[in-house]
A and B are shown apart, each in its own frame.
Chain A
C-alpha cells in the first residue's frame, strides 16, 4: 500500500502531518528488531509499518535475531507467563535464553540511531547499550498487567536499562524507572480484513456457510478459547432470542499452539447442537475476506472476552460501522467508549441486555456504529500508529512535555 492510498480515508491534513514529522527525522536510522520476519502480530505490523516509514523518507530498517527451537520454546513460555499464565520456567530454560541472547548480542549488527526492540525475545540486546550508546526503546506488545512474577523478574533487569518503554494499553504499564508511552495497535483499512466489500461477496460468504439472511445477525469473531467466552455468548444470545428473533454466528479458528482450543470448539458445538439459529464456523487461517464479510453482514458484533490483550477485532467491527457490545477488559475500553462508540458489558445478562437495546433501536445502533467508525479513523488506523512512532522517536532525548521543532 502507498501512503497516497490512505489520503481519501484520513484526509490530506493528516498525510501532511506525517510528512512534517518525517522531515524532522531526517538523518536518523531507526532499527527495528524482533524475532521473525513472518508470522505473528509484530511481524504483520512491521511489514506494513516499515514500508510506510520508508515512503515518508524515514530510514527505518528491520532486523531479526536468530534462535534455535529450544530458544523459541522458552520465549513462548515466557510470553505466556508474562500474559499471566502459570508457566514453569526452569533453570535450563533460563540458560537456553541467555545463551542464544549472548550469541545475538555478539553477532547481530546494530547500527540504528534509535534501537526499537520489540517484545521479550530480543530484550537482552540492551547489553550493548554501554558500548554503542544511542537511544533504546522497548516496545512491549504483551499484556504485562498481571505477569507471572518469575517471568517478569527474569526480564526486568534488561527492561530497566532501556531509555523508554511502549505499551499498548494503560493497564499494561507498571511503575518503571524510565519513561513509558501508550501506543495502541492499529488496523489497516486497506487490508483484506478491513477493505470495503461488495454486497455480492458478502452474500456469497453467507451462502457458503449456509447462513440465511433472514433475521438480525449477531456475530462474534474470535478463536475458540475459554477467554473469549463463546459459551457465554450463546447463553446471552438465548436470552435475547426470548424476545427478538435473531441468529448467532460464532466464527473463528483454533490455535495450533493451544491444546485447549479443540476442547472449547467441541463444547461450543455441543451447546449449539440442534439450534438452527446458531452457526459455529471454523474458519481456516488466511480467510481474511470471509471474516470481513461476516463482520459486514452482522447487525450487532459482540466481543465478550473474559480477558483480552488489545482486542483489535473490536476496531475491525467499529471500522465497518457496526454497533458493538464488548466486555470492559484489556484494551477494549479504549476502543469502546460506553454509550458513545458502542456498549460495554460485564456479564452474560449485561451482554444480552445491550444486544436487545441495539436490535430494538436500530437508529441508536447506527449512531453508535458511525461514532465507532470515526473513533477508529481518528485513533486506531495504521496511519495514526505511524504518527505515534514518529512522535516517539522525536521525543527521545528530550525531557520537555512541550517540544518545539
Chain B
C-alpha cells in the first residue's frame, strides 16, 4: 500500500523542486532583461506574477502527482477540474492586477483623468473576468453558447454606444506610443486648428489658440490630420500683443488744385491727415499691384498735368525716411516750390481732373488675435487682415505719432527682443505690397525663433 502514497508524494516533491528551480531561473533571466530595457511595464509584469507563480508551481506539481496516483479515474477527473479551476482563477486575478498597473502607468503618461483611468480599468477587468468565467464553465462542462451570444450582443451594444469614443481612445494610445506631441508643444493642424497643448488624455487633446480660445480636439483628428509641431513653450511676453483691425472711410474736403502752385498752397496749410491720406491710401487701395502706384501727388502730376519727369521726382519721395507728417509735408512742398521757381509756365489740369484733397477717417476695432510669445505672434500675423497689418505698421507710426511701428515697440518692451525689434523697425514697408510686408515680417520672426 505504501508505494500508492509514497510515489505520488515523491513525484509531487520532485515536481515542486523542479518547478520552483525553473521559476527562479526564469525570474533571474527576466530581471536581467528588465534592467536592460527602459520599459517600465516589465517591472510590473514581474511584480504581478511573482507571488502567484508559486501557486502555479504547486498546481503543476499536484497535477503531475495526480497522474501517478492510483485513485479512481472519476476522482482524478474531479481533482483535475479543481486544479484547472484554481489555475484559471489565479491567472485571472494576476491578469487583473497586471492590467490595472499597466493602465495606471500609461494613463499617468497621458495625463488621463481619474474617470478615464477608472473606466479603462473596469473595461479591462470585465473582459478578463468574462473570459475566465467562460473557461471555467467549459472546464465544468456547462453550456456556454447562450452566454457567448449574450456577451457578443453586449459587446456590440457597447461598441455602438462608444463608437465615437473608441476610435479616439485607440488614437490616444497610438499618439502616446509615437510620442509625437507633449503638453506645452505648439501644434498646427492642416484643418486650421492651432495652439499650445494644454492637456492630453486618452480620448482628447486640449489646445489653447492665439485668440485665447481653447479647443478640445478628439485624438482621432490628431491622428488623421497633418500636424506641424513647432515644439516647446516659448518665452512669454510681459504684456500680450493685442491685434487691432482698421477700416476707413474717405472724407472729402471740397478743396481742389488745378496747378502745382495751388497744390503747394493747399498743402502748406493742410492738416496732417490730408498729407497722410495722399501719401498712404494707395498702399491699401492697390495692395494687390506690383509695382504699386506712387503717392497721389506724383500720379496726378504725371496723369493730369502730363509731366512725367516731375511726377517721377515726387514719386521718389519716400515716406519711410520721415519721422513725422510735418517733415514729409515740408519736403513735398519744398520739392514743388523748387520746381515752380524754375518753371514760369505752369501746366493746368484739364477740367474735371483737378487734384481733390481728401483725408480718411479710421475706425479701429479689436480683433480676437492675441500673441503672448513669438510663435503666437507669427501665426496671428499669417492670418491677420491686411487692414490690421496696415494699422500696426503704417498708421501707428506716422498718423498716431509713435516712434516706430507697433510690432517693434512690443518686441522691445514686452518681449525683450531688442534686436528683432530693430530689424523690423529698419524694414521699409513702402517698398513692398502689404502681402509682401506680411511675408517679410514672418520670415524675420521665423528666422529669429530658429
**Residues of A near any B CB (own CB < 8 A):** 13-14, 16-17, 20-21, 24, 145, 167, 170-171, 173-176, 179-183, 328-330, 333, 337-338, 340, 344, 346, 371, 374-375, 378-379, 387-388, 391-392, 394-395, 401-405
Contact = CB atoms under 8 A, between A and B. Distances in A.
Given A402-B364, A405-B364, A20 B249 contact: no
A403 B361 contact: yes
B358 interface: yes
B249 A388 contact: yes
B363 interface: yes
21 contacts: A17-B385, A20-B245, A21-B365, A167-B252, A170-B356, A173-B254, A173-B356, A174-B254, A176-B254, A180-B252, A180-B254, A181-B251, A182-B252, A328-B350, A333-B303, A340-B286, A371-B288, A378-B287, A391-B363, A404-B364, A405-B363
The 7 A-B pairs of least Cβ separation, nearest first, read A170-B356, A175-B254, A173-B252, A182-B250, A180-B252, A391-B249, A13-B385
Interface string B344-366: 00000010111010111111110
A403 B364 contact: yes
Contacts of B235: none
Interface in B295-322: 299, 303-304
Contacts of A330: 352
A285 B387 CA distance: 40
Nearest to B254: A175
B285 A379 contact: yes
Contacts of A17: 245, 247, 385, 387
A181 B363 CA distance: 14
Given A17-B245, A402-B400, A170 B252 contact: yes
A173 to B, nearest CB: 4
Most chain A beta-carbon neighbours within 10 Å: one of B253, B255, B303, B361: B361
Given A179-B251, A328-B304, 10 more contacts: A20-B245, A173-B252, A328-B303, A328-B350, A379-B285, A387-B247, A391-B248, A402-B364, A403-B361, A404-B364
A401 B276 CA distance: 12
A337 B286 contact: yes
Interface of B: 245, 247-256, 273, 285-289, 293, 299, 303-304, 350, 352-354, 356, 358-365, 385, 387, 395, 399-400
A180 B250 CA distance: 9
Contacts of A21: 247, 363, 365
A267 B256 CA distance: 38
Contact of A346 (B248, B285, B350): B350
A175 B387 CA distance: 30
B251 A24 contact: no
B192 to A, nearest CB: 11
B360 to A, nearest CB: 8
Given A13-B385, A181-B250, A402-B399, A395 B361 contact: yes
A79 B371 CA distance: 54
Contacts of A404: 364-365
A388 B288 CA distance: 20
B353 to A, nearest CB: 6
Interface centre among B245, B250, B400 (most CB of A within 10 A): B250
B286 A392 contact: no
A401 B359 contact: yes
Contacts of B247: 17, 21, 387, 391
A24 B365 contact: yes
Contacts of B387: 17
Nearest to B351: A146
A224 to B, nearest CB: 23
Given A21-B363, A378-B288, A182 B251 contact: yes
Contacts of B352: 145, 171, 328-330
Contacts of A180: 251-254
Contacts of B399: 402
Given A17-B385, A394-B363, A401 B273 contact: yes
Given A21-B247, A378-B288, A395-B249, A402 B362 contact: yes
A239 B365 CA distance: 54
A371 B288 CA distance: 8
B144 to A, nearest CB: 59
Contact of B293 (A174, A337, A346): A337
Nearest to A392: B249
Given A175-B254, A338-B303, A378-B288, A391 B361 contact: yes
Contacts of A401: 273, 359-362
A330 B286 CA distance: 20
B447 to A, nearest CB: 26
Given A179-B251, A405-B365, A344 B245 contact: no
Contacts of A392: 249
Contacts of A375: 286, 288
Contact of B249 (A13, A171, A181, A374): A181
Most buried by B among A179, A330, A379, A391: A391
Nearest to B385: A13
A344 B303 contact: yes
Contacts of B288: 371, 374-375, 378
A171 B356 contact: yes
Contacts of B400: 402
Could you say which of B245, B252, B358 has the most chain A C-beta atoms within 10 Å of its C-beta?
A: B252
A404 B287 CA distance: 24
Nearest to B400: A402
Nearest to B357: A170
A329 B253 CA distance: 20
A330 B289 CA distance: 24
B71 to A, nearest CB: 85
A292 B171 CA distance: 54
Nearest to B356: A170
Nearest to A174: B254
A392 B247 CA distance: 11
A24 B356 CA distance: 31
A179 B358 CA distance: 11
Contact of B255 (A167, A175, A337, A371): A175
B252 A181 contact: yes
Nearest to A332: B352
Contacts of A170: 252, 356, 358
Contacts of B364: 402-405
